[in-house]
A and B are shown apart, each in its own frame.
Chain A
Amino acid sequence: MKKIALEVNGKKVTKEISDHTTLSGLLRDILNLTGTHIGCDTSQCGACVVHVDGKSIKSCTALAADLDGSKVTTIEGLASNGKLHPMQEAFKKMHGLQCGFCTPGMVMSAVDLLKNKKNPSDQEIRDWLEGNICRCTGYHNIVAAVKEAASKM
């Protein structure tokens, strides 16, 4: 067991965890933040993408023990004062989701993209979302949603 202290969505969290607990396990099973989804569980599908110290990573393949002292933002941490993040609004407006399973990861990944690139092209969006798999939409409306968000942010 390891004792770790980290910040999750702006709140300080101290927990005792098993050495092999992943960040996705910590978020979902211990902190009940089930917005972060687990799809493939081997870092291919991207449903588990969260931000650690400002960068998007796949939380299923990060050990919680190794993130002691980090700042984590999950999909639950994007909205502020009950108002959706512009990326969430854009996914809703542009129908960037169908079943919604991949959406938390898509949104977190796309938010990271816009941090580095204010007005990405369609190709840049598709390249960036390489590690996020959606089996419903065919990606078209996801790309449209990211562009919509870029125009509002």
Chain B
Amino acid sequence: MKTFNYHSAKDVKEASKLASSNSAFLAGGMTTIPSMKLGLASYKDIIDIKRIKKLSGIKVSGKTVTIGATTKHSEVANSKDVKKAIPSLAALAEGIGDPQVRNRGTIGGSIANNDPAADYPSACIALNATIHTNNRSIDAEKFFRGMFETCLKSTEVIEAIEFSIPEKSSYQKLPNPASRYAIIGVYVAKHKTGINVGVTGAKSCVYNDKDLAGALTKNFSSSAIDSVKISSSGMNSDIHASSDYRANMVKAFAKKAVDAC
């Protein structure tokens, strides 16, 4: 790993001030550190935000669940409040990586990295999340821009993610058996205001499948999905799954998710 300067920020203001185009914020480090070791990334400054207390924790209000950026996957998975308000979100957290990754990895880190096969981005899309940073509040639909790309500026720190509590929801994924990343993950959520179908793993970036959502709006049952055609164009094709297989799995896992709602 190439050398860097390590800073532990005491508050968000300091973290943002230390940041530059040649720095990275460090939370769990479950992607950042391996990426640096593999030579895929290098930074002059690593700014640790783990010790900023206000960035961690879970709050449930009547309509939303707000999770601090440095809250660990294991904390979300084991939270009684999350299990009660949005059980599918706790289950998603429980299915990320392995126990040691869940003991370090954070929700803010996951969405800031925006891995095309990460789990949390699909939750943000399905649960109408608002991403609160030190500067602004961003709708999830605008936050995720492309492969490993978000609309965050280099000095911008995610503080919390606010999820709308749906009437019902389920996240179903076909995990890569080694990494537990999603080959396909489909998050179906039915809100009073409408239905979202967040899909991860399929394309270069998470997306809301409007065709599936449209069919489910007319009839919220897995049979409503049968007639929806999912095109494999633009879908990922790799050693784990071809684009045609992924297209088919989006449909299969959307049905599974609706049945589990």
Contact = CB atoms under 8 A, between A and B. Distances in A.
Interface string B1-28: 1111110100000000000000000100
Interface stretch (B32-40, B107-115, B160-168, B240-248): B32-40
A66 B99 contact: no
B101 interface: yes
Contacts of A2: 6
Contact of A43 (B34, B50, B178): B34
Nearest to B98: A131
B179 A61 contact: no
B180 A130 contact: yes
Contact of B104 (A41, A46, A61, A68): A61
B100 interface: yes
Contact of B26 (A44, A55, A56, A66): A66
B30 interface: yes
Contact of A19 (B4, B38, B50, B180): B4
Interface residues of A, number: 28
A42 B97 contact: no
Contacts of A49: 100
Interface string B56-97: 000000000000000000100000000000000000000001
Interface of B: 1-6, 8, 26, 29-30, 33-34, 37-38, 46, 48, 50, 74, 97-101, 103-104, 178-180
Given A55-B74, A63-B48, A66-B29, 9 more contacts: A2-B6, A43-B33, A55-B103, A62-B29, A62-B33, A63-B26, A109-B99, A131-B100, A131-B101
Interface of A: 2, 18-20, 22, 41-44, 46, 49, 55-58, 61-63, 65-66, 68, 109, 112-113, 128, 130-132
